[in-house]
Amino acid sequence: MALPREYTGQACSIVRALEIVGERWTLLIVRDAVFGVRRFSDFLEHLGIPRAVLTERLEFLVGEDVLARVPGPGKRSEYELTAKGLALWPVVRSLSAWGDEYYAPEGRRRVFVHDSCGGEVSPAGECAGCGERVPVAATVMTPGPGLPPPSPQDSAITAALAHPRPLLQPLH
């Protein structure tokens, strides 16, 4: 069966990668996971994704070992990035840089800084301050000049992400 998930039999790692993360919503789920989102309801609210689609995507990503389903507080299950999922950060980060460069007339929406030295982290993961390679967990996401000011109808997640926050730190 020719699932739209699959492409032709090309022996190309980009094709393989897109068969995993190339569907609608998938990279945004990974983005949110890096931002600290872990619960079904939070993904649902923040993304505005249909429930059935979220269910399917989460199951698929768990099956591919991009996310892991872990018990959270009160037996509620949460979805956590695996090492493999975390390895997708450069993809998401470079998309963010491209969007900021060409589709953010008011300026960049997100700026990433090194937690220890405060220097800015480049899309490639290097700190402009100290020159070191910065692990994702040592990166703080801060609002840039192009991020709209908080609005009352923002979701709780959106509001939380409008303040500086270390990546990967669980919300809640």
Partner DNA sequence: CACGGTTTGTTCGTTCACCGAACTCTTCTG
Partner DNA sequence: CAGAAGAGTTCGGTGAACGAACAAACCGTG
* Footprint of a copy of itself (CB under 8 A): 4, 7-8, 10-18, 20-22, 24, 27-28, 31, 47-48, 84, 87-88, 90-92, 94-104, 108-110, 123-126, 147-148, 158
Return the number of the residue (45 or 126) whose C-beta is nearest DNA.
45
The nearest distance, CB 74 to a copy of itself, in angstroms, is: 29
The nearest distance, CB 53 to a copy of itself, in angstroms, is: 11
Q: Which 47-76 positions form the footprint of DNA (CB under 7 A)?
A: 48-53, 55-56, 58, 72, 74-76
Q: Which amino acid is at 55?
A: T
Integer angstrom CA distances of residue 135 from 46, 81, 112, 113, 164: 25, 15, 12, 11, 17
SS3 readout for 105-132: CCCCCEEEEECCCCCEECCCCEECCCCC
Residues in Cβ contact with 164 at an 8 Å cutoff, skipping those fewer than 6 apart: 140, 141, 142, 143
Return the number of the residue (72 or 129) whose C-beta is nearest a copy of itself.
129
Q: Which residues bind DNA (CB under 7 A)?
A: 1-5, 23-25, 39-41, 44, 48-53, 55-56, 58, 72, 74-78
